[in-house]
Amino acid sequence: MTEFLAMGGYAQYVWPTYGLTLIVVVINVVAARRRLRSVREALALKAARERRRRSQA
């Protein structure tokens, strides 16, 4: 196991790269979820305005 973690002497380059990749993936997922929530809220507001407009006509 220690040999695997040492990555043949390149652990100082490999593990930070894995960490950075994980951080970027997490940020990407969080940003996508926030954007999805924002778009859903905007669509709900637009639909509510349309319903109000149609009920007034």
Q: What is the pTM of this model?
A: 0.75
Q: Which whole-number Å values give the CA distances from 50 to 4, 12, 38, 39, 46, in the listed order?
A: 60, 58, 18, 16, 6
10-57: pLDDT as tens digits: 999 999 999 999 999 999 999 999 999 999 999 999 999 999 999 987
Q: How far apart are CA 5 and CA 52, in angstroms?
A: 62
pLDDT confidence tier of residue 8, bands split at 50, 70 and 90: very high
Q: How far apart are CA 55 and CA 57, in angstroms?
A: 6
Q: How far apart are CA 21 and CA 23, in angstroms?
A: 5
> What is the pLDDT, as a whole number, of residue 3?
93
